[in-house]
Chains A and B, each alone.
Chain A
Amino acid sequence: MTALLEVRDLTVRFDTEEGVVHAVNGVSFDLAAGEILAVVGESGCGKTVTAMSIPGLLPSTSAQVQGSIRLEGTELLTMTPRQLRSVRGKQVSVVFQEPMTSLNPAFTVGRQIREVLQQHEGLSRRAAQARAVELLELVRIPAPVKRVDEYPHQLSGGMRQRVMIAIAVACSPKVLIADEPTTALDVTIQAGILDVMRDLRDRLGTAIILITHDLGVVADIADRVVVMYAGRRVEQAGVHPLFAAPQHPYTNGLLGAIPQTHKGVEQVARQRLTEIPGMVPSLKSDPDVCSFAPRCPRATQECHDHRPPLEAVLPEHLVACHHPGPNP
C-alpha cells in the first residue's frame, strides 16, 4: 500500500507573548487512499494543529512549521500561497467542528458550494448549480432542490454540517480532514453524519483524517488510530488491536475513563472509572522525558530521564513507552 499522504517529523511551534509553545513535536504518519485515520487526544494535545498544518491553514505569522508533508510525492510545506490555494478544496479539504460559524451567513448554500466548483473545476454557473444539488443529495439532505437556495440560518446544525461536507467533497478531494465533525451535534444526528462519511469513503475513495476525542466515534468508523499526548504520538495501531490491547498507559487511561457500555448494563453500574490524575503538561518546553510520566501509574526513574522512542511492540502497533502493555 503506497501512501497518499506522508507526514514526516512534523514540528509546529507558536511564538506567543509568553514564549514559544511546542504544539507538535515530530509527528509522522502515512495515510493510504480510502483510509480513515483517527487522531485522538484531549484538548491541547496538538491534534488539530497537526491536521491544520496539512492544508497550510496555520497562521504564517506565528506558527513555525517544520518537517515534511507530501501529497502523492509533492511537498506541501514549501508551496507558495498561490500553489496551496489550488491544493485546498481541490485535493485536500477540511470540515470544521462548528457548523454554525463555518458557513457564510450572507450567501445561500448553493452559492457557497458553487464557489468551489467554479473556482477549481471551471464549471459554468448553471453546471455548478446542478452539481450542487447532486452534492446535497450525496450528503443525504432531503429536498435538495429547495435547500440549495436556502441560507445557513434556515438549516439545523446537522444539515449545516452536511452542507460543509458537501462543500468539502465538491471537487472529489483525495484527502478530507474532519476536525471533530460531530462534536457539536446530537447523537442521532451524529450517526447520520458518520454514515455519510463512511459512504463517501466507499463511493469516492476519499481518505479521511478524523480528529476526535470521542472513542465511540473512533470505534465506529476508523481504520487506524493515532493517539496523541502533549504534541507527540504515543501510540499508533489498527483500530481493533488498539481497543483490544492498548499498550500506552495514556491510551489505557482514556479507555478506562469512559463507561464500558458495550459490556452490558450490569457491568457499567457504578463501576469506578479510571481517573488520570494531574493535568496536561505545559508545552513551553520539550524536555527529554516522557511527558506523561507525572500522571502515569507505571512511571519509573527511566521515564523521567529519557523520552521513550516510538517503537513497534507488535507489527503495525507502535507505542512510545518504557513499560508498554494493556492494563490488567
Chain B
Amino acid sequence: MSGDTSGPVLEVTDLVKHFSAGSAFGRGGGSVKAVDGVSFTIGKGQILGLVGESGSGKSTVGRCVTRLIDPTSGSMKLLGTEISSLSRRQMRALRRDVHIVFQDPYSSLNPRMTISQIVAEPLRLHKIASGTALEKRVADMLARTGLRPETSDRFPHELSGGQRQRVGLARALALEPSLLIADEPVSALDVSVQASILNLITDLQRDMGFSCLFITHDLSVVEFISDAIAVMYLGKIVETASRTALFHDPQHPYTQSLLSAAPVPDPASQRSRERIVLGGDMPSPLDPPPGCAFHTRCPVAVDRCRSETPPLVGVTSPDHPVACHLVDARTGRPDVAAADDAGRHARVHDQA
C-alpha cells in the first residue's frame, strides 16, 4: 500500500475521544473523557500491549485506530498517512492495512454466513481475488489458523469459542494487513483454549510480520506476547516501556499496584510477594479528578499530585516515559509497597 515503509506502522499523537453524556435531547450534558490525550507508536513487526482495567479507555483507542468510531481530536498516522480525518470512502483503501479481532467470538461473526464466506468477504470486497484463486486463499488462511478444511462449510454456531476466534483471526489476516488490532481476543476463552490462540497469534506474527496493538486487562498475557507495553488509567497512558523494563522496573504507582495485584500461578512465590492493595475504585471518566487522575487511590500521593497533571516523560530513561511527579531521575520509582504497608490502616479510616 501507500506510504513509506521505513517509519512506524502506526503513530498516534494526542488522541482524544469524548462521548457526550446525557440524553439525546441535550439535557444532562457533560462528556465522558474516554480517551484523553493518548500518544504512542508501533514499529514494524512490533506487538504493543495496551493494558488497563475496565473503563480505562483501552478499547476506545482500538476502535479509533480502526476508525470504527471517530476520534474527537488528535492525529493517527497509518504507514505515514493521516487517517483521523479521512472520509469513509477515502478510508476504504486503507482498511486493507488495519484489521481488528474482537473479544467476543460469539457476536462478532455473522451467523448467516459460512466460515469460508466470512473469511472470503474482505478478499472479495477489496477485489483481491475471485473464483478459484479466492477459494485457494481462503483454504490457505483456514489452514494457517489451524482450522480443518471441512470447517469452511460450517456456520459460526457449529464451532467452539476457540475455533470462532481462529475464524476471526483468519478474516482479519486474510488481506495480510500491516496492523492487527486485537481487542481482548482471549478473555472470553478457557485457559487451555487461550493458550492455543496466544500461540497461534505469536506464530502468525512471526510468519506474516504484521504489527499488533494487543488490548488486554490480563498482565500475564501482555508479558507473554508484547514487545512493548503501555499502561492506561482513566483515558491516559501513565507509563510506556519495553516489556522487560516495565516488568523489571515498574515506575508509576498504578503500574506497581497492577503488577502486584495480579496473582502468579505459584503458591510459594504468590504468598511471599509484597502486595499493594488499592483502596477505592477508578473515578468516573465523566468527572476525572484534577491533577494526576490516580491520586485518589495512590498510596504515595502528595499535594502536588492533586493539583498538577504530571506529563508523560522519560525520567530515568528516554525509552521509559512515565506520568508521575514522584519518579526521580536519581532515586527512581517511588516505593509504593512500603508506603502502602504503613498507610493502609490509616487510609481505611480516612475514607470512612
Q: Which residues of A are at the interface with B, using a C-beta cutoff of 8 A?
A: 42-43, 137, 140, 142-144, 156, 158-159, 186-192, 194-195, 213-220, 222, 239-240, 243-244, 253-262, 265-266, 268-277, 279
B267-316 with Cβ < 8 A to chain A: 267-271, 275, 277-282
- A143: B residues at CB distance < 8 A: 351-352
Query: With the chains together, A279 CA to B225 CA distance in Å?
Result: 24
In the complex, whether B123 has a CB less than 8 A from a CB of chain A is no
Q: Which of B192, B260, B267 contacts A276 (CB 8 A)?
A: B192
Cβ of B243 under 8 Å from chain A: yes
Contact B191 A257 (CB under 8 A): yes
The chain A residue with its CB closest to the CB of B194 is: A257
Closest CB-CB distance, A270 to chain B, in whole Å? 6
Rounded to whole angstroms, the CA-CA distance of A195 and B344 in the bound complex is 13
Asked if B264 and A186 sit within 8 Å, CB to CB, the answer is no
**Extra contacts besides A158-B281, A187-B53, A218-B267 (13): CB < 8 Å:** A43-B190, A142-B351, A191-B260, A191-B261, A214-B263, A244-B268, A253-B192, A258-B220, A259-B224, A261-B220, A262-B264, A272-B202, A276-B192
Q: Which residues of B contact A222 (CB under 8 A)?
A: 267
Kindly identify which residue among A215, A256, A259, A260 contacts B221, using a CB–CB cutoff of 8 Å. A259
The answer to whether A219 touches B261, judged by C-beta atoms less than 8 angstroms apart, is no
**A244, B270: Cα distance in complex, Å:** 13
Residues of B participating in the A interface, judged by any CB pair closer than 8 Å: 53-54, 160, 190-192, 194-196, 198-199, 202, 217, 219-221, 223-225, 243-244, 247-248, 257-258, 260-271, 275, 277-282, 348, 351-352
The minimal Cβ–Cβ distance linking A244 to chain B, given in whole angstroms, is 8
Query: How far apart are B135's CB and chain A's nearest CB, in angstroms?
Result: 27
In Å, the complex CA distance between A143 and B219 comes to 31
Once bound together, how far apart are the Cα atoms of A260 and B202, in whole Å? 17
Residue of B nearest to A192 (CB): B277
With A266-B244, A275-B192, A275-B195: A142-B278 Cβ-Cβ less than 8 Å: no
Report the minimum CB–CB distance from A276 to chain B (whole Å): 4
Write the chain B residue with the least CB distance to A136.
B352
Given A42-B192, A140-B348, answer yes or no on A262-B225 (Cβ-Cβ < 8 Å). Answer: no
A240–B268 touching, CB < 8 Å: yes
Which B residue sits closest to A275, measured CB to CB? B196
User: Given A188-B278, A254-B191, do A269 and B243 touch, yes or no (CB 8 Å)?
Assistant: yes
Q: Contact: B223 with A262, CB < 8 Å?
A: no
